[in-house]
Structures are given as structure tokens and as C-alpha cells.
Chains A and B, each alone.
Chain A
Amino acid sequence: MPIGDSIPPVGIRWDDALFVVLAATLLGSALMVVTLRDIIRCGLALTVSFASLAGIYALLGDPLVAATQILVYIGAISVLILFAIMMTQTKNAPARLVFQTQAWVAAVASVALAVVIAVAALATTWPAGGQRLSTATADVAHLLFSEYVLPFEVVGVLLTAAVVGAVYLARREPGRRDEDRP
């Protein structure tokens, strides 16, 4: 059964409604990431914001990047962050003060940044069409392996170096015990 272009009783277009819901979820969960007291909940809210961003990528007509966002960010980076949180949580760490003492300066600065970016984006006339163009995955693959093949290889080397470096940095030094671990 085909569904119409807009939601029947209210007449709002489906993609507008989806955009509003996804954007509200994204901004709300991002605010939870930076304000919540419990850092585990910050990590889970970060996962929610990655997921809603994947929805926005799909809405922008880019299914390959949306799938990559789910695979890499939700599947890998969120899990990595949650592992790191659980490895660095101590019971005696002061949980009462999550912000720096000068957090209000940061708040003023970031509100100013948001206003400047919004005004600049709205005041500029972009050479853009009024319609979203969807990207074919086959075109992306062709471009990635022809014109962008050097960046692709460099990213492969970078990922290998990063993983080897991370293992080297995080490994336990031999003969040295972590003190005051119960």
C-alpha cells in the first residue's frame, strides 16, 4: 500500500516531519552528552545522537554514508568510548563537579559561535538547488577507487598506524603493577 507524500490529517510532508524529529533528537541527545552528570549516560546519549545523524544522512539521500555511520560510529567508536569509560571510572573520583570552574565562559562563547554560524549560513546565498539529490552507491565506489584512490590508501595506512599506536600506548608495562587496584 503506497503512502502519500504528506501525513494525511495535518498535511505536513513526510520528509519535513522526519527532519524535525531527527534534528530534535540529535540536538537533544548532543546536549545530554555535554551536560549529564553520569558519564555512562553521556556515552549512551552519544550513541543516540550518532543514530539520529545516520537518519539525517539517509534523509539527505546518502545511504552508503548512513550505513557507514552506523557501522563505524555506533558499532566501533561508541563501544570503544564505553569501554574507556568503564576502564577509567573510579569510585573515589569526584562526580559532583563535572564542569570546569569557568564553564560559563565556554557557554557564552559557544552560544556566540552558534549564532554566528547560523547568521552566516542564513545570510549567504548558496549556489544550491532547492531539491535534495540522492547519491548512487556505485558512483561513490567508482570515484573512491579512481580519483580518490591515493587518499583511500593513505587512510588505510593511517588506520593501521593508529591501531598499532593505540595498542602500544595502552598496553601494560611489563614488570609494573598498577597500584591501589583492589
Chain B
Amino acid sequence: MSNSLDSYLVLSGFLFAIGTFGFLARRNAISMLMSIELMLNAVNLSILAFGAFVAPLKTHASVIALVVIAVAAAEATVGLAIVIAIYRNRRTPLVDEYDSMRE
């Protein structure tokens, strides 16, 4: 089981779907950012699984995964700063109350 690429890909797909659900369904902006982190982790897992099972991709996958981790860190920093800046103005972290551009 741990020696087949399929099980890792299915695991990564399930993790990505859980992240998608959280991003679409949660009301809190920070919950949505956490779901984005879950999706990025799922993508990283599939990259590393391909790297571990396909010989020509072996080392490249690790490098790409490291770059993805760094970009995810940058994304989390900016995203949380935006949430805090909006919270300062609107006093709520719930995204469905950010509707001042609607009318």
C-alpha cells in the first residue's frame, strides 16, 4: 500500500477536496486561508509522490516542493495581513459581511 503511487495520489486528492470544501463553505476569512493551506499541502504531497516513484523526477520534485512551501509562506503572510487590515475597518472576520461594494 505504501509502495504504490496510487494511494498517495488518492490521499492527496481527498486532502485537496477537503480544502476545497472548507474554502467554499466556511464564513470566516481565516478558515478560508487555512483551507487554502490544506490545498497547497495536497499539491505538494502529489508532487513529492511523483518524485518518489518516477526516477527521472526524483530530485527535481524535492526542489519544486521547497519552492512551493516558500511561496505558500509568502501567501499566508500577505493573506493574514489583508484579513487583519479588513478586520480593523469592518470589525468582523466573516466574509459574507464584506458586502459594501454590492450596491
Contacts and interface: CB of A to CB of B under 8 A. Distances in A.
Given A100-B26, A118-B14, A129-B53, A16 B70 contact: no
Interface in B57-97: 58-63, 65-67, 69-78, 80-85, 87-88, 91-94, 96
A121 interface: yes
Interface of B: 1-11, 13-22, 24-31, 33-35, 37-38, 41, 44-45, 48-55, 58-63, 65-67, 69-78, 80-85, 87-88, 91-94, 96
Contacts of B34: 33, 42-43, 46, 81
Given A99-B27, A131-B3, 20 more contacts: A13-B2, A19-B1, A30-B38, A33-B22, A57-B45, A61-B52, A73-B37, A76-B73, A77-B76, A84-B30, A84-B84, A88-B83, A97-B27, A110-B24, A118-B10, A118-B14, A135-B52, A155-B71, A161-B74, A163-B77
A85 B30 contact: yes
Contacts of A128: 5, 50, 53-54
B26 A81 contact: no
B41 A53 contact: yes
Q: Looking at chain A, what size class is its interface with the partner chain? A: 35 or more
A26 B3 contact: no
Interface of A is mostly: helix
Given A98-B27, A122-B6, A166-B77, A30 B18 contact: yes
Contacts of B10: 117-118, 121-122
B54 A127 contact: yes
Interface of B is mostly: helix
Contact of B24 (A19, A109, A144): A109
A114 to B, nearest CB: 4
A86 B5 CA distance: 40
A27 B91 CA distance: 33
A180 B49 contact: no
A62 B50 CA distance: 12
A169 B85 contact: yes
Contacts of A18: 2
Given A57-B48, A121-B13, A87 B84 contact: yes
A59 B2 CA distance: 8
Contact of B17 (A103, A113, A155): A113
